[in-house]
Structure 1
């Protein structure tokens, strides 16, 4: 996975945005600083890039889950939609609490967020596979 600036966005505009908001606050919040830096998630360099890649993987998995979920609910009756909606909310709570428990011993450590995102990514991919299976049965 390679992260790059959006096409059509020049370094000048990003510099202008940084100047407006102040480099200290933006750099403290931005996991990918400097902005022009490219991250190759196949070969991340250093802990910060590893954590960024783990987060990006989870975000991509979550986006995919939402896409598949929307496909499924578009094919369901009102009653089925209510059931899967309730089940999905319950699953989100289960996923979040399970992952919190799984990484509990690493809380307060520098790797905590990465371990948490790895768990969330794994469980989200599993849920996506389940929902894709429901889609195939329709």
Structure 2
């Protein structure tokens, strides 16, 4: 029966929350985390789309230059720690407070949405 008490301590899944009326800090963080996970999935789709485009462009790249795939991969690998550090800085003003985690996740969401747009723009035939 002790495990039932432990289950009660677990946060409710984000899908069970009504994020339009979240009031508690825990609910707001859970909703923000759920939103971030959705935009992160969108980012992964955009990255795969951009990589397909990059592979096609590499066919026309001179051998002496790095290919589009390598450059895009390196840019993405550099962007991830940049995003994380920028969001740490953004949330730092709430350091130690209850808003710190929410600010960090909100920043991750905002920057991830921008990067997703950037990747789709880069890969588009504009």
Question: Gaps (5+ residues) in structure 1?
Answer: 1-18
Q: Which ranges in structure 2 are unaligned for 5 or more consecutive residues?
A: 59-66
What is the root-mean-square deviation in Å for CA atoms of aligned residues? 2.3
- 1:97 is matched with which residue? 85
Whole-angstrom distance in 2 between the partners of 1:61 and 1:112: 20
More contact order relative to length (CA 8 Å, sep ≥ 6): 2
C-alpha distance in 2 between matches for 1:27 and 1:80: 50
Q: TM-score, normalised by structure 1?
A: 0.73
Corresponding pairs, count: 115
Distance in 2 (CA, whole Å) between partners of 1:116 and 1:128 is: 18
Structure 1 residues 76-131: Cα deviation after superposition (integer angstroms, max 9, x where no partner): 23521111000001111111111111111212112211110000100000101101
Decide whether aligned partners of structure 1 residues 84 and 25 sit closer, same or farther in structure 2, where only a CA change above 3 A counts. Answer: farther
When you count helix as a share of all residues, which structure comes out higher?
A: 2
| Change over 3 Å in CA distance of 1:72–1:27 after alignment to 2 | farther
The reply to whether residue 43 of structure 1 matches residue 24 of structure 2 is no
Residue in 2 that maps onto 1:31: 11
